[in-house]
Every structure is written in structure tokens, then in C-alpha cells.
Amino acid sequence: MNERLLDSKTKTKIAKQLKGIVGVEHITTQETDIVLNAHDAWPLSEAKIRAGEMLPLADIVVFPGSTEEVSEVLKVANKNKVPVTPVGGGAGTCGGTLPIYGGIQLDLKRMDKVINIDHKSMLVSVEAGMVGIDLEEEVNRHGYTLGHTPTSMRASNVGGFLATRSGGSMSSLYGKIEDLTLGLEVVLADGSIVRTKAVPRHSVGPDLRELFIGSEGTLGVITEATLRLFPIPEERRFRSMAFADVHSGLEAIRLIFRAGITPSVVRFYDPEDTAMSMSQHFDVEEGDSMLLLAFDGAPEKVDHEERVSVEICKENGGKDFGDGPSKRWWEHRYDMYYPTKFTTAGFSIGDTIDIVATYDKLENVYHAMKTAMEAHEAFVMSHFSHMYQNGGSIYMIFFTSQPDAETAWATYKKIWDDGVAACLREGGTMSHQHGVGLSRSTYTEDELGSSFQVLKKIKDVLDPNEIMNPGKLGLGVQE
Amino acid sequence: MIYDEDITQQIRMCAACPKMCRHVCPTFLAWRSESPTPHGRALLLHQEITGTRPLDDRAIEVLYQCLECSHCLTWCLPEIDVADIVETRRRQLVEEGRFPSGLNPMVDSIRTHHNPYKEPHEKRTSWLKTPKNDGRSLVYFTGCTAAYRENGIAEDAVSVLSSLGYQVDIPKDEWCCGSPLLRTGFVEDALGQARHNVEILNGMDAEEIVVTCPGCYRVLTQDYPKHGLEINKPVRHIAELLQSHLKSLPEFEIEGPLTFHDGCHLGRHSGVYEQPREVIERVSKGALVEMERNRDNAMCCGNGAGLRTLFPEHAKKIGAERVRQAERTGAKYLVTSCPFCKNMLESQAKDRLIVLDLPELVEMAKKRSHVKTD
């Protein structure tokens, strides 16, 4: 059992105050509840759970039911200088919701309501604790989609989307969560409630909304958001192309965007990932790389986009696989998120470093990271996804199996250290959509360079007592 | 160790899953906490198995905050049956005497009165009249809920079966089937009820047994044989029986659409999905509209596996959500094929929906079609 922060007198005092705010049934100091609430989706947490280790625990878990209650909870925490770790779905893959210094875990799951759908402006206002799939199903009933489809959709909450700057598998067309968000409500460490106005664009100074998107609970607690909606597309058409090498496939992607085409899905699997993900179901030549495309919209738009994309792919050596591989991926897109006997056996651990870079650097980053990560006898497979006009993301997926926990966790860290170092050396950025949390916290300063000091100064002003999710984003780290 | 190696591995996998089924777990909806969730239950058991952390009183309570509805199984690619895993541990908790004391009144009532409602045993079915008929003989095992709380279902079941030509007999000394005991871990008590029921049912002269309660159906067809107790005649749920007489069933013009709620014991636990739908489609002349969550993806009504006994307000929250899902279809009627589900759903629907059990719908069709033709 880890040593938690609060002595029993302080804990009793704070728990009593919090009960007065949220009601006795919405706060727990029971160890069982605290243990279960620590469970996130960081592969290292999951591997440690399997190995019988305990995750870091809070002293108190509180479930506020409104923004006002969040505000009152933070006032108590701030006054007593108690760490607060906000948590939504607990589906983060970087350890961002682990209460590593104990204190209060502020769980937003009760704040799960759609506040309003504005049909004229195509916007939805929603509380931060609503589960992604519940929101998507609700807007579907009105003929809309969020356009935001992360693999964690069934488990992650709106607040988590925003706190981690998340991206869905169709971000090429619809954008990431920062592109999909117009307005925010945030509660700061001192309990003050801040709103940024929901407008499509503005020219009134820096966009403060952007300050909180991706802040991972270190600057405040996101309690409400106004998100964009899209009409459900008339058609989603799939197409797949195999390439003899990574370079020619990447060229095809780059030229598709350059031609003004924006597919909804662009996923390009390197030879290892193609072998793992496609070869069981399709007759792909060994060493080939598979590109999956989808196009959303009215049939005439989709016709045009597909025709131009196919021409470009063929000019770059693409072999046509029809809609099969792409459609199959779409229909099974959540399958890879489930545990399997293979990936959970013994002291196995895998993870994904979801880097992003511009086209001029992307291939170099890929090769450099692959070499660095494979040096630790990791199996590495990758796909390029979330592609845009100027570059895109690579999912550098690794897997290692070791004889004991100590070796497994140490190997995991080495792969991360060397993988991220290679990424930064070649000009990439260490995360496209998963966030920083704990897994990347120690690299944040290197990643941000001189701008890290700006972030730090903002943190000092907004959270002088360093109560907000300390230890994440490289901020509030305690010795 | 109460789990074999394979189940231990499944618990280990579930305990560290990124929560792929939590969004459909009714108790997650009711509590909005990580505790009463499939992976929460698995994590407690995994930590107990690995010696990381023993079950404390709160952990035991969490294991009883499960409906055993198996909705999570529908969404689980590795097919881990958390309901079965939980029930296995509940059995041992009962052996250890570590079950929630809130279950005592239910257990005592079944021991004393052979029903969970503390109702006098002699009044169980003494009120239920069965007309004489020359047709095939059939035993109607009423179950406790139709006998004591939903009498209309039992009366209409008898009426519908009689009009199909069956000679319906009611067991004179039917006891609780044992479902509430089995699902909460009280196996020995359940088997006491079961042995008695098998004895009286096997002693009756009839071609088959019909039940209206899916809980009874699952217990009579699956749990009894699992414990070496064989009933010497076929057991059918009334939905199956009615479906086999589809062309003889009455039809009527129903005012407004109706939707169907799959009870967990009949649907996910017994695989009976289409038969009640065919019956509804026949008698209502195709007025069935489906809820978004139907068949193996249907949400539980909130009444199962001791939850209503131990946590009535949370159980009602789940029932209310299922009613909202039914209302979303625009239906005027909510039909189920389970007296226990009907009881919960009706209590939450108030006057917003008319809630009927399948025999009640067929009886309604019978009466209305007679009115029209007379």
C-alpha cells in the first residue's frame, strides 16, 4: 500500500467539509472504492494490476454533481493545500488521472447531461462527465455526429477528451477535439468559475479556450463544453491500397491532401503492422504496407474524392484492394483495445508512442524511433494515421515480454526514453492525441523547450499552491 | 482456490481492461462510480487471488451490487462472464457467512414461506382457478411473482392456455424455484426448494410444464440439471409455447405501437429472443417497434440478483432508465415476458406507458378480437 498524503485528522476534517458540499452519498473514504477508482487505461497501470501491484491511491474520492459543487470542492482543497486529481472516464492511456500524491480524486461522472442542442448553429453543450459514446448516440438521434471517434469512445468522457487534446480516427476530416470545441467552462484552483464564449472565431486577444484544452487538470477542471456537430454523412465509402514500401505510400497520402482531397480516414500500416493486422484476412504480399481510406459526404463528393485518390495511389505504385481491408478495419475498430491472452501473458507490456511531425521529417522520425525502440528487443509495428495537409501522426506501437516485473517495467521505460529522444532529435512532437500524463511528464521540458517556462509561469499564477493534478505535464512535481 | 486456471486468467484480463463494456453496465449507470462495474468486480477478485488485497466488507457489498444481467458479456470480445464469476464468489461468501445482512429477510422468507415476499404459503395459488378442458395436459408453474404480486399474469396465462385447448393444472404445493437464492449464493437453501419442486412436478401427470417467469425457466432448465435434479417432462417458457401456436393466436388492432423488453434470464441467459417477438407481431398485427438496445444488447430492468432487495433506490433508477428507452420509441405499450421485469417497469412507467406481460397482451387480443367479431 502506498503512503498517502493526508494524516487522519486532516482527512476527517476535509471529508466532513466535502460531505457538506456534495452530500454524504457522493464522497468516499472507503479503501475499496479508492482502489477501484484508481484504475485507468495506461498500459503500465494495467500491467501492474495484472502483476498484483497497487496503483497510487487518493485519500478521498468526491463526486460533485454541478459546477458549483466543483467550485466549492476546489476552494476547500486550495485552502488546505490538498492535491486534486480530476478524473472523467478513467480511460487515459498516460496515467494522467493517477493521484500520485494522494489527496482528493475529483470524479466528474455524475455530471453527465446534455445541456442543449442548438440545431441552428449545430452545437451541443454538454457536461464534462458524459461518456463519449452516450453523447454520440444522443446526437445521432437528432441526425448529427460529433465527428470524434477515439477508440476509447465507450469509456472516455467529454472532459477527458478536452483535458488530453484527444483525437479520433476521423480527425483528418473533422479535426481533433481542439478544432471541435467552441466554448468551455472551467473551474480554477481557487474555485472561480471561468467561461470562454462559444463563437466560431474571434479576434479578442489570445484564445484562452486553447489554454485549458490539453491542460490535463493542471490548470483547472473542465466542467462543461460546447462542441460542434456535423450532419451524419450520407455515405461513408471505403478503399484500400497496398504499397511496396513505406515511402511510396506516404507520398501518395501527401499528394492526396495536396490535391485538395480530405478523406475522413487515412491509416497507413507499415510492413509489420500490415502483417499483424491485415494478412490474416487479406492476401497481402509479404513486406507490403496497406493504406486504408474512407470518404464521407454526399455521393458526388465521395465519387470525386475516391477517384482522385485512387489515381494518385496508382501513380505511386498502389495495388487496389477495393473496400475490403478498410471496411473491415472500420467494423472492428474497437477490437484492438480489448485485452487478449497474448498481450496480457506473464509480464508482457506494450504501449503506443503517438508522435506527430511534418511531412519533411515524418519518415526520418519513423525510422529513427523504430531503430531506437527495437534496440531493446521490443517488437515494433507502426501505422501512420491522423494525416493532414502538412504532416501527420505515427502510432509507434511496441510490445515486450520479460521474465519478471522489475525487468519489464525497466525495459518499458528504456523503450519510452529512447523512442521519445529519437522523435525529438528528428524534429517530431511526442504526442498527437494521447497527452502527457505520467508517461511523458519527464520529457515535457525537452519537448516544449523555451516555451515550457511560459507554461510554468501560467501554472504559478493560476495554481500557486500547486494543488491541481501535481506531477503531470511536468508541472508541480514534488521531490 | 474457487476458480480454475482459465477463469483466473479471465479475471486477470478483465481487472485490467480499458473498460470496454462499462457503458452498458446498469449498475455503473445507477451509481456513476468505478466500483459497481464489471472491471471493478474483477479487480477485487484478482487482488484477492494474487494476495494483493483481501475482500473487505465494502468489497463484498460491491460484489452484491451486480445484477448478474450479463450485459457486459455481450460487449466482451474475450467473452468473460463476470456474472458467473461473481455468483461463484457469492456462493463461497455465503459459506463463509460473509454475505450482506440485508439478504436475511429474503432468505428467511423463502425458508419459512417458500416465497421471498413473506406471504403465506397456503395462499400461493389457492385463488387461481383453472377451467376443465379435454385437451393436452400441462402444468403451469406460476413462480412467486405471478402468484403474489402480478396475479393478472397468472390468470391471463391460464385463460390463454385454456383457450388454446390445454388442460392446465397448477401444482398444489409449488415452492419458490430457488432463483433468488441461487443468484445470491444460497445454494443449499435453493436446493432444498428445488428438490421439493422436482418431486411434486415429477409426480404430476402432464405432458409438459410451462412457466411465465424467466427466472424460474432458467432455474428449472439449467440450474436444476446442473445440480443433478432432473424434471421428467419438458419445460417451456410461455413465449415459446405461444409461438408454437402462432396461427391460433388472436389478432387485434392495438391503439399505438408497442415495444418489447427482453428479460435477462429469458434473453441473454436462455437465448429466447425471437419467440416473444413473433407472438407480439402476430397478435398486434405488426405493431412492434424495437428499442435501440434490444435482444442480447437489451438493458436489464434493475430487478435481478438481489439488487432490488439490497439497493431498492438504485434498482429503480435502472428501471426508470429502461422505461425512458422504451418511451424513446414512441410506443404506447411496453411488453415484456417476465413478471419480475413487468413489476419493476410498471412501477417506473407510472401512467406514461401501459406495461403488460406477454400473456396479458394475448388475453387482451383475445378479448378485443371477440368484441370485434361478436
Instruction: Give the model confidence (pLDDT) of B43-83 as tens digits.
Output: 999 999 999 999 999 999 999 999 999 999 999 999 999 99
Total domains, chain B: 3
A405: its cell numbers: 516485473
Whether residues B136 and B195 fall in one domain: yes
pLDDT band at A478 (very low <50, low <70, confident <90, very high): confident
Looking at the predicted structure, is the pLDDT value of residue A461 above 90? yes
Averaged pLDDT, A296-325: 98
Shared domain for B258 and B157, answered yes or no, is no
User: Which 3 state secondary structure label does DSSP give A102?
Assistant: coil
Q: How far apart are CA B194 and CA B207, in angstroms?
A: 20
Tell me whether residue B361 is exposed, middle or buried, using C-beta atoms within 10 angstroms of its C-beta: 0 to 12, 13 to 18, 19 or more.
buried
pLDDT at B369: 86
Domain around B337: 249-373
Contact state of A50 with B16 under an 8 Å Cβ cutoff: yes
**At CA A360, angle to CA A356 and CA A362, rounded to 5?**
35
Return residues 152-181 of A near B (CB < 8 Å): 152, 154-155
Distance from the A443 Cα atom to the nearest Cα atom in chain B, whole angstroms = 25
| The three three-digit cell numbers of residue A367, written as one number | 525510422
Residue ranges, CATH 3.30.465.10, chain A: 117-231
Q: Are residue B225 and residue B330 in the same domain, yes or no? A: no
Q: Which residues 95-114 on chain A approach chain B with CB closer than 8 angstroms?
A: 107, 109-110, 112
Burial B7-35 (b: 16+ CB within 10 A, else e): bbbbbbbbbbbbbbbbbbbbbbbbbbbbb
Can you say whether residue B156 is alpha, beta or left, with left for phi > 0 and alpha for psi between -120 and 50 degrees?
Answer: alpha
Q: Residue B284 carries which DSSP code?
A: T
- Find cell 412501477 and name the residue: B347
**Residue A2: predicted pLDDT:** 45
Q: How far is B61 from chain A (nearest CA, A)?
A: 10
Where does chain A hold its CATH 3.30.70.3450 domain(s)? 235-336
B235 to chain A nearest CA, in Å? 38
What is the percent of chain B with per-residue pLDDT over 90, rounded to a whole number? 97
Q: Which of B212, B228, B243 is the last residue of a domain?
A: B243
> Min CA distance, A33 vs chain B (Å)?
6
- List, for residues A385-439, the tens digit of each pLDDT value: 999 999 999 999 999 999 999 999 999 999 999 999 999 999 999 999 999 999 9
- Is B62's CB within 8 Å of A90's CB? no
User: Cβ of A35 and B47 within 8 Å?
Assistant: yes
CATH number for position B274: 3.40.50
Cell of A283: 492476401
Pairing of strands A193-196, A181-187: antiparallel
* Nearest one of B115, B63, B141, B145 to B347, comparing CA atoms: B145
Nearest Cα residue in chain A from B39:
A36
* Residues of chain A positioned with their CB less than 8 A from the CB of B21: 154
CB contact under 8 A, B19 and A37: no
Q: Given this model, what pLDDT does residue B373 score?
A: 38
Q: Which of B190, B214, B243 is the last residue of a domain?
A: B243
Q: How many CB atoms lie within 10 A of CB A332?
A: 12
Residues B85 and B154 in one domain: no
Is B186 found in the same domain as B75?
A: no
B218 plus B307 within the same structural domain: no
Q: What is the rounded average pLDDT for all residues in chain B?
A: 96
No. of H helices and E strands in chain B? 19, 7
pLDDT of residue A4: 56
Q: Which residues neighbour A283 within 8 Å (Cβ) at sequence distance 6 or greater?
A: none
Whether residue A39 and residue B78 make contact (CB cut-off 8 A), yes or no, is no
By C-alpha distance, the chain B residue nearest A344 is: B13
With CA atoms as reference, the chain A residue closest to B77 would be A338
Residues B276 and B364 both lie in one domain: yes
Which runs of E-coded beta strand occur in chain B?
Answer: 137-141, 167-169, 208-211, 235-237, 258-261, 333-336, 354-357
Min distance A5 CA to chain B CA atoms (Å): 20
- A-chain residue closest to B55, CA distance: A32
Cα dist. B68→A254, B85, B340, B346 in Å?
A: 51, 9, 15, 21
Q: Determine the 3-state secondary structure of A258 from DSSP.
A: helix
Contacts of B15 in chain A (CB under 8 A): 49-50
CA distance B348 to chain A (A): 21
Same domain, B118 and B235: yes
Mean pLDDT of A39-55: 97
Which A residues 382-441 touch B at CB under 8 Å? none
A454, A210 Cβ separation under 8 angstroms: no
Q: Which residue of A has its CA nearest to B23?
A: A154
Contacting residues for B211 by C-beta, under 8 A, at least 6 apart: B140, B141, B143, B217, B220, B235, B236, B237, B238
**Cβ separation of A339 and B50 shorter than 8 Å?**
no
- Residue B342 and residue B278 share a domain: yes
Q: Is A337 on the interface with B (CB under 8 A)?
A: yes
Query: In this predicted model, what pLDDT tens digit does every residue of B146-162 receive, in sequence order?
Result: 999 999 999 999 999 99
Q: HSE on the CB side for B17, CA within 13 Å?
A: 37
Nearest CA in chain B to A336: B77
Is the per-residue pLDDT at B335 higher than 50? yes
CATH architecture group of domain A117-231? 2-Layer Sandwich (3.30)
Residues of chain B whose C-beta is under 8 A from some C-beta in A? 9, 12-23, 32-35, 37, 39-40, 43-44, 46-47, 50-53, 56, 58-59, 62, 75-78, 292, 328
Q: What is the pLDDT of residues A325-351, one digit of tens each?
A: 999 999 999 998 999 988 898 999 999
Q: What is the pLDDT of residues A108-150, one digit of tens each?
A: 999 999 999 999 999 999 999 999 999 999 999 999 999 999 9
Q: Do A109 and B56 touch (CB under 8 A)?
A: no
Instruction: Say how far apart CA B300 and CA B67 lie, in whole Å.
Output: 8
* Chain-chain contact of B32 with A112 (C-beta, under 8 angstroms): yes
Percent of chain A past pLDDT 70, that is, above it, reads: 99
Q: How many CB atoms lie within 10 A of CB B286?
A: 10
Residue A110 · residue A63 · CB < 8 Å: yes
Mean pLDDT of B107-129: 97
Q: Answer whether B168's CB lies under 8 Å from B138's CB.
A: yes
CATH of domain A8-109: 3.30.43.10
CATH of the domain at B112: 3.40.50.1860
Residues B336 and B268 both lie in one domain: yes
Q: How far apart are CA A301 and CA A295, in angstroms?
A: 9
Domain A235-336 has CATH 3.40.309.10: no
Residues forming CATH 3.30.300.330 domain(s) in chain A = 339-439
A169: cell is 480516427
Nearest chain B residue to A106 by CA distance is B33
Burial A214-253 (b: 16+ CB within 10 A, else e): bbbbbbbbbbbbbbbbbeebeebbbbbbbbbebebbbbbb
What is the residue whose three cell numbers read 457486459?
B72
Q: Does B221 share its domain with B255?
A: no
Determine how many CB atoms are found less than 10 A away from the CB of residue A305.
24
Average pLDDT over residues B275-302: 98
The whole-chain average pLDDT of chain A stands at: 97
DSSP letter, residue A202: -
B32/A49 CB distance under 8 A: no
Interface test with B, best of A32, A93, A352 (most B CBs within 10 A): A32
Mean pLDDT (whole number) for A372-377 = 97
DSSP B340: H
Chain centroid offset of residue B29 CA: 20
Backbone angles phi, psi at B186, to 5 degrees: -90, 70
Q: Domain A339-439: which topology?
A: GMP Synthetase; Chain A, domain 3 (3.30.300)
Whether residues B31 and B69 share a domain: the answer is yes
* Domain edge (last residue) among B243, B268, B290: B243
Give the model's pLDDT for residue B372. Answer: 45
Q: How far is CA B94 from CA A352, B147, B183, B244, in A?
A: 44, 28, 11, 41
User: pLDDT at position A5, please?
Assistant: 73
Nearest 10 degrees: Cα torsion B77, B80, B81, B86: -140
Task: Please tell me the distance in Å from A207's CA to the nearest CA on chain B.
Answer: 33
- Interface touch A154/B58, C-beta < 8 Å: no
Nine-digit cell string for A348: 508482457
Write down the pLDDT at residue B247: 96
